[in-house]
Structure 1
C-alpha cells in the first residue's frame, strides 16, 4: 500500500500593509454674512473663493431672491456674477442657522438698531467689516456689536485696510489686516479670507485698526473737497499726511499702537480712500468742493458715505480726550454746520506755524 503524500504546509497568507490613512481635509466653514451692500456682497465672494459655504443676509427679500436665483446683486454690484456657492436669505434666523462664524457688514449708524431687533447672535466667532464711530455714543463698532448683539469681546475681531469693494469684486490683488484680541482668533479670521487675490495680515490691536478705519473716511472727505475746489497734489498730499497724524493721535489716546497707523489699516487705507474715485467719501468730498450741499452731495454718491456721520462722533471723542484734530473739525463745520468748504480749506492751510 502506498502511503499518501505528506500534507503540504503552506505559510499563512500575508497581505501588504494598509496604506496610511489620508488626512481628512478640513471641512468648509459655513459663514453667515450679515449685510448685502456692496462691501458685504463683495466679501461674501471673498469667503466663497476661499472655500467657505456662505449665507448672505439681505434686508430686502427682493435682493435675497435675486442672489439666490440669478447670483447677482444688481442694486449694488450689477456687473458682478456671484459664485453659486453663495446663498441668501432675508430672515436673520435663516442666515445664521448652522453657521460656524458670523461676518457683519451693516452700516455703522444702522448697526445698533439692526442688532437690537434680532435675538442675540449665537456664541460664534464674529468678524466686523463695518467702519465708523457710532454717533451719539462715540462707541467703536466692536463695542456696539458687543452691547447690541450680545457678543463676548473675546470672540470679536475686525477687518480693515485698502479695501475698495469694486476692485476686490473684480478680484484685483490686495491686502487687509485682521485684528482680534488673541493671535489664535486673528489667525482663524485670516483663514476665512484666504482667496488667491486677498492677503490677510494679522494684528491684536483691535482699537488701532478700528480707529484707523473709521477716521480715514473723514479725512477722505476733506481731501476730496480740496480736489473739487481745484487744488493740486501738494494740497491733497498735505491733507493726507496731516490727516494720518490726526488718526494716529486719536488712536494712541484710545490705547492703539503707533505702528498700526503706519500699516495697512492706517496709511494703506487712507491712501486708497483719499485718492480713488471709487471711494464714496472721496466722491462726496469732490461734490462738496464743486459747491453742492451735503444732502445733494450724498444723493449724488448714492450710497452711504460713513465719514459724514462719523465726523461728529470723532470730533466729540477727540474733544473729550483733548486730542487736536483740525481737519476733522473742519469737516464737521461743513457737514454739520453748513460752513463753506472753500473758507474751511483756506483756514486749514493758513494755521499758525508750529512744529510738525
Structure 2
C-alpha cells in the first residue's frame, strides 16, 4: 500500500511542480500540500472527489490522480480548481444512487452558483467525463468559469454546457458522441427569455465530433466562437435566436473548420431532422461569420448547406448579419443558403461556387 501511494505522489508532485514534504500514509485521508496559503488536495482512486471539494477553500486546487472515479461532483466554492492529470483521469456515473442534485439530474460535474450570486473563478481541467445520462460538465450562474482540456464523451444530453453565466472560457476541449450538443451555451432553457449578454465568453480551439450539434449558442450576445474543429456531427454550429428582446446576436463566429458534418439525426420536438449543416444562423442579428473553412456538409434538410441563414422557428427573420471572407466547398444543396426574409443581411468576399439564391458567392 505504501509503494502504491508513493508512486502516485511522484506523479502528482511532477504535475503541480513542487515536491511534497512527506509521503502519504496508508490511512484513507486526502493528502494536502500547502503552498502560498493555498492548498492542493490530492485524490487517489478509491477516494471521494466530492469530499476533497467540500473540504477545499477558495483558491484551492483539487488534483485528481489517474484512475476511474464513479461519482458526480458539485463545485460551488469560488476560485476552486478541479483538475485531473489528463484523459487518464476519468469520471463516470456512480454505481449507487446519490442524493445530490447533480447526480439526480444525470450530470457528471456541476459548477453551480445561486439565484442571487454567481460562483466566480472556477476551473475544471484535464480530465475525462463520460457516460452520464445528462451532461458531462454542467454550469449555471458562473462568472469567469474556465473549462480546459476536458474530454466529454457519450453523455446523454450535452458534453459541456453553461447557462445564465458570464465571462466563460471553453478552450482545447474534446466533446464526442454526445446526445445533443458537444458544447451548449444558453441564457436559460427553463423559460422563453431574451438573449443574455455573456460579457465576452470565448469558445476556442475545441474539437467537436459525432454529436447531434457541435456547438449550440442559444439566445446569447457578446460571445466569440473561434478556431474550433467540427466534424462528423449532424450540424456544426447553431446560433439560435427568436422574437424575444433583446435579440440573440452581436457575436462572432470566426476561423473555424467545419467539415463533413453529415451524420443523420431524427427530428425532435424543437428541431427538424438534421444532416449536412455547417454553420446555421436562425433568428439572429448583428452576427459576424468570417474566416471559416466550411467543406463537405451535405444533406436535404431545409437547414442543410455550408453557411445557412434561416428565419427563426417562430418566424422571426434575422437582421444585419454579415457573412464575409469564408472559404466554402462541396456543401449541398449549396455553399451559401439564405432562406431568411430579414433585412440588411450581407454576403461579401466569400470563396464558394454555389448559392441559394444564386449570386451570393
TM-score between both structures, scaled by the size of structure 2: 0.29
Point out the structure with the larger strand share. 2
More relative contact order, 1 or 2 (CA 8 Å, 6+ apart): 1
